[in-house]
Amino acid sequence: MHYRRLGRTDLQVSELGYGAARGAAENLAQFIATVHAAIEGGINFIDTAEGYDGGESERVLGEALRGHHDILVETKHCPYDSYAPTAAYVGSPDKLTAAAEQSLRRLQRDRLDILLGHGIRTVETLDRFMSDGCYDAMVKLRDQGKVRFIGISELSEGDGTHEVLQRAVPTGAFDVVMLTLNFLLQTAADSVLPLCLKHDVGAIVMMPLNQASKVSGLVSVPAALECVRRHIAQGNLPEEPPCTEPGLLDFLQPYSIPEAALRYVLSHEVSACCVGARSPERMRENLRATEQPYLDAAKRQRLHDLFGGISKQIL
């Protein structure tokens, strides 16, 4: 495992992190075994959120991480009434503080390593988050020692060109941001990552497999081709070869689609790439993507030529 600097936090984080969004409520024992497999593979960074599996992700992580105080945990508070792109903003400093306190209890920790405002989806609601006391509440938690570092994540399916993060990163308000980057949504590579480097903000990547759906995620050739077909249907890609060819992605061999997708992300100047896994076996397969070199220049250029013009995420 290789470790990278998380911006001005100066934390050294494993370049592959574990995204703990799903699995805790479905199979507790397997979830814990997967967390332990991640740690055994050198992963020291885990991402979760108050709303993942109805709080079970945080609670079970608290059990799984007993005795592993060196593992860095990032959690998130959502100031909206749902995860939908059109959800109403309902943020308040009291809700944010109460959520952070509850996360501490569920995770069985004295402090949160990183706390993010979750899924900030419009510039207008970013401005509200910054001015209605929510941001000040995060700073207060940091000053109290309950949180080490603060930041925000985006909702890329509602903001495919990353307007929120382009506004937020240069302000200096945030230590860390979480953004979407994958080979079917490459826009952050040019719009957000240079800003993160310039302002020394840690860049954590989510959705490296797009939405990791068996139907249309970057999890297999059929699923990836279905996602391409959906982009064609919405006018984001041309309905002509090579996009319509069944061998469109053959050039990524010998890598599987998920391994190639992870290698694509790791070939960028990001701090870490978070990916989920439902089993220790899947986790060990993901870990293969950290073997250097990640993805050669010819494959990266081909991915850019094919999909670099997409500016909208399709799930």
26-37 pLDDT per residue, tens: 888 999 999 999
Query: Nearest 5°: CA angle at 222, between 219 and 226?
Result: 95
**What string of DSSP letters covers 174-220?**
-SEEEEE-BTTB-THHHHTHHHHHHHT-EEEEE-BTBS--TTTSTTS
Count of domains in the chain?
1
Pairing of strands 176-180, 147-154: parallel
The tokens describing 132, both together, are 């209605």
Please check whether residue 71 lies inside any domain of the structure.
yes
E-state strands within the chain: 3-5, 12-14, 16-19, 45-47, 72-77, 112-120, 147-154, 176-180, 202-206, 272-275
Please check whether residue 290 lies inside any domain of the structure.
no
d(CA 104, CA 112): 7
d(CA 250, CA 221): 9
The tokens describing 209, both together, are 């497999």
State residue 283's pLDDT score. Answer: 95
Please check whether residue 311 lies inside any domain of the structure.
no
State residue 191's pLDDT score. Answer: 97
**DSSP H or E segment with residue 257:** helix 257-266
d(CA 292, CA 295): 8
Please check whether residue 113 lies inside any domain of the structure.
yes
State residue 27's pLDDT score. Answer: 86
Pairing of strands 3-5, 12-14: antiparallel
Residue 285 backbone dihedrals phi, psi, to 5 degrees? -65, -40
CB 119 within 8 A of CB 153: yes
State residue 286's pLDDT score. Answer: 96
Please check whether residue 76 lies inside any domain of the structure.
yes
CB 264 within 8 A of CB 303: yes
State residue 45's pLDDT score. Answer: 98
- Which stretches of the chain drop beneath a pLDDT of 70? none
State residue 214's pLDDT score. Answer: 83
Please check whether residue 54 lies inside any domain of the structure.
yes
Domain that residue 137 falls in: 3-210+270-279
Residue 151 backbone dihedrals phi, psi, to 5 degrees? -175, -165
CATH of the domain at 10: 3.20.20.100
Q: What is the pTM of this model?
A: 0.95
Over residues 216-249, the pLDDT tens digits come to: 899 999 999 999 999 999 999 999 999 999 999 9
State residue 281's pLDDT score. Answer: 96
Please check whether residue 243 lies inside any domain of the structure.
no
State residue 36's pLDDT score. Answer: 96
Please check whether residue 237 lies inside any domain of the structure.
no
State residue 250's pLDDT score. Answer: 98
